[in-house]
Amino acid sequence: MRIAPTFHVAYRALRRNKMRSVLTALGIIIGVGAVIAMVGIGNGAKAQVEAQIASLGENVILIFSGSTTSSGIRTGWGGAGTLKIEDAEAIRREVPDVIGVSEEVVSTTQVAAGNQNWFTRIYGESADYFDIRQWPLADGAPFTAQDVRSANKVCVVGRTTATQIYGNENPIGQILRIKNVPFTITGVLTPKGLSPQGVDQDDIVIMPYTSAMKRVIGGTTLRNINVQIADQSQIAAAQQQIISLLRQRHNIRPGRDDDFTVRTQQEIAETATATSRVMTVLLGAIAGVSLLVGGIGIMNIMLVSVTERTREIGVRMAVGARGNDILTQFLIEAVTLSSVGGIIGIICGIGASSVLSSYAHWPTLISIGSIAIAFLFSAAVGVFFGFYPARKAAALDPIEALRYE
In the complex, the residues that contact other proteins under the rule CB under 8 A are: 1-2, 4-6, 12, 16, 311-312, 314-325, 398-399, 402
Identify residue 124 by its one-letter amino acid code: G
Question: In whole angstroms, how close is the CB of 193 to other proteins at the nearest point?
Answer: 60
Q: Least distance in Å: CB of 329 to other proteins? A: 10
Q: Under the phi-then-psi rule, with left for phi > 0, alpha for psi from -120 to 50, and beta for the rest, what region is 193?
A: left
Q: How far is the CB of 9 from other proteins (least distance, A)?
A: 9
Residue 270 or 308: the one with the smaller Cβ distance to other proteins is 308
Element (DSSP H or E) covering residue 189: strand 181-189
Query: Which is nearer to other proteins, 196 or 323 (by Cβ)?
Result: 323
State how far Cα 359 lies from the chain centre.
Answer: 19
| Shortest separation between residue 374's beta carbon and other proteins, angstroms | 33
Separation CA 194–CA 175 (nearest Å):
27
Number of CB atoms found within 10 A of residue 87's CB: 23
User: Which of 361, 405 has the CB closer to other proteins?
Assistant: 405
Strand pairing category for 224-229 and 73-74: unpaired
d(CA 367, CA 371): 7
Backbone angles phi, psi at 66, to 5 degrees: 75, -140
Instruction: Give the shortest CB-405-to-other proteins separation in angstroms.
Output: 10
- Which is nearer to other proteins, 13 or 185 (by Cβ)? 13
What is the distance in angstroms between the CA of the first residue and the CA of the last residue of the chain?
27
Nearer residue to other proteins within complex by CB, 5 or 136: 5
> Distance (Å, rounded) from C-alpha 399 to C-alpha 403?
6
Which residues are CB-neighbours of 387 under 8 A, at least 6 positions away? 331, 334
> How near is the Cβ of 319 to other proteins at its closest, in Å?
4
Instruction: Please identify, using beta-carbon distances, which residue of 230 and 402 lies nearer to other proteins.
Output: 402
Nearest-approach distance from CB 302 to other proteins, in angstroms: 19
CB 314 to other proteins: min, Å: 8
Task: Return the number of the residue (323 or 363) whose C-beta is nearest other proteins.
Answer: 323
Nearer to other proteins, 314 or 341 (CB): 314
The pair phi, psi for residue 238, each rounded to 5°, is: -65, -40
- 201 in helix, strand or coil? coil
d(CA 302, CA 34): 24
Minimum Å gap between C-beta 335 and other proteins is 19
Q: Give the E-state strand segments of 258-337 in sequence order.
A: 260-264
Element holding 244 (H helix, E strand): helix 235-249
Min CB(305)–other proteins separation in Å: 14
Q: How many Cα atoms are found within 13 Å in the side-chain-facing hemisphere of 374?
A: 36
Residues 6+ apart with CB under 8 A from 98: 91, 92, 227, 228, 229, 230, 238
Q: Rounded to 10 degrees, what is the CA torsion of 41, 45, 51, 54?
A: -140
Q: Taking a C-beta distance cutoff of 8 angstroms, is the pair 191, 159 a contact?
A: yes
